[in-house]
Amino acid sequence: MVWWNSAWKLVFSIYMLVLDLIVVFYLMSFLYLFIIAVPFGRWVLVIFLWFSITKCFSGSFTLMYLGNDWDPLYFGGFGT
């Protein structure tokens, strides 16, 4: 593999990770405003935060763009 192809994948994955974190932050902000008056709302927020962080860093949003060189769960994309 050519080195700039790997570098492009790494830069793109970092860019997608930053976008994912921004989206998670805004979703959490709106969710917190929505559930602030709901009983047990703090537990719902904690569960949502845990789910968002684990999904964000498990690679389901970012590593699928890296291809099979980086992500063992990537099997060639759709339709293959």
- Flag whether pLDDT at 79 surpasses 50: no
Mean pLDDT of 11-28: 78
- Flag whether pLDDT at 35 surpasses 70: no
What's residue 15's pLDDT?
81
Looking at the whole model, is its pTM more than 0.95?
no
b/e code 46-70 from CB counts within 10 Å (16+ = b): eebeeebeeebeebebbbebbeeeb
| Banded pLDDT at 77 (limits 50, 70, 90) | very low
Give the chain's mean pLDDT. 64
